Copies of this chain bind each other. A is one copy, B any other.
Amino acid sequence: MTRPRGAAARGVFPAVPAVRAATIRDVAKRAGVSVSTVSRVVSGTGYVNADTRRLVEKAIAELGYVPSASARGLVARRTGTLGLCLPDAGPAAHLREPARTGSGVELITDDGTAPGGPAWGSLYFGEVVRGAEFAAWQAGLSVIVAVARPPEAEARARDLAGRVDGLIVVAGTLPDDVVEHVAHRVPVVLVAGPRPAGGYDHVGVDNARGVQVLVEHLVRAHGIRDVRYVAGRAGTPDDIGRFRGFRAAMRALGLPVPAEPALRGDFSRATGRRLARGLLAEHRGGRSPMPGALVCANDETALGFLDVLTAEGFDVPGDVALTGFDGIDGGRTSSPRLTTVEQPMTGLGRLAVDVLRACLADPRLPRQDLLVPVRVLLRESCGTH
């Protein structure tokens, strides 16, 4: 019975006024004890008489009392919450429409291009959330998930910083000056992207080691010697790291180390197709033999190559082995299935939280820059099986 009798007595009906939530004082009064006793019962600290405790617990249950995190956070100077700031990636156009309700059912002939598919799923940010939430849960912390959407991204980020004990920011989601501003208040961990200049913690994916292990596998296990790297968009940290791994592998294998990628795309499937057509034209013009393997900067690029190669009658991996990077679903269902390096997105989220916790526990610790190890998934496109 939290509904104030006053309202009913006054005949206000059927209006149910917003009842103010019970406070620790209400509980104390109802249990006939002081607020400190209630506090002790709730927090489990200090000694409380068993009978008194029961009395208090009864009052708590009856009133549906829940301690205010605002008040707790104010006195404790910590909120017990971490913030996770994600980029606004993915086709969110269909989200912009007003939410629909009611019984209208759309009948859609899906020719494979229907909009509205899961965008987070394919872009993995959901996985970062999952990993971060789990690590935070282990530490008894909550996570606020925030997507940095252009118009008011800065103001929102500042607001978020006021709500949390630490902030995880995916690289490129916020302007540098905003990151610097909020870093005055809470520790910030940057995720992915380039190693940050300032004094921030950073966690990334071990791009280089992933490609290196993959290339060494191609050469050692499959005896391929003419391995070529198909780059992604120039200047991106991912592309740089992956090409570095490629060169490291070639060096370690005693093979010629290229100064530049054999081909350069932009991470897109369409460009992968275009590059593939160019390669085939050269090959058919007799200007160059087909390489033994194409190591692509990402799965989309590799799938673009696969589209063209199989359409043109080439055997993958017989004529040319093909590998990607990311571990997207399309590479699991292609034929042949795509050998790739899996992006450890849950691992990124978890590690970011762990790094943040370390900084929270002791801010004097030196800033960290950690890489999450990857897994190389060997499937048919490289000749495995």
Contact = CB atoms under 8 A, between A and B. Distances in A.
A295 B16 CA distance: 45
Given A121-B118, A144-B144, A145-B133, A103 B206 contact: yes
Given A143-B144, A213-B107, A137 B149 contact: yes
A318 interface: no
Contacts of A162: 66-69, 72
A263 interface: no
Nearest to A368: B101
A26 to B, nearest CB: 11
A142 B142 contact: no
A377 B95 contact: no
Contacts of A377: 108, 110, 114
Nearest to A105: B213
Interface string A104-141: 11111111101010111110101101110111010000
B61 A105 contact: no
A163 interface: yes
A15 interface: yes
A363 interface: yes
B137 A105 contact: no
Interface string A292-319: 0000000000000000000000000000
Interface string A331-356: 01100010000100011001100100
Contacts of A77: 20
Most chain-B CB neighbours within 10 Å: which of A135, A182, A374, A377?
A377
A15 B209 CA distance: 34
Interface stretch (A33-41, A153-161, A189-197): A153-161
This chain: copies in complex: 2
Q: Which of A95, A109, A110, A143 has the most CB of B within 10 A?
A: A110
A224 interface: no
Interface string A50-74: 0000000000010111111111111
Contacts of A127: 118, 120-121, 126
A268 interface: no
Given A95-B134, A134-B147, A137-B146, 5 more contacts: A17-B363, A71-B74, A95-B131, A99-B135, A109-B385
Interface of A: 2, 14-18, 20-22, 61, 63-74, 77, 79, 81, 92, 95, 99-112, 114, 116, 118-122, 124, 126-127, 129-131, 133-135, 137, 142-147, 149, 156, 158-163, 180-186, 206, 209-210, 212-213, 217, 329, 332-333, 337, 342, 346-347, 350-351, 354, 363-364, 370-379, 384-385
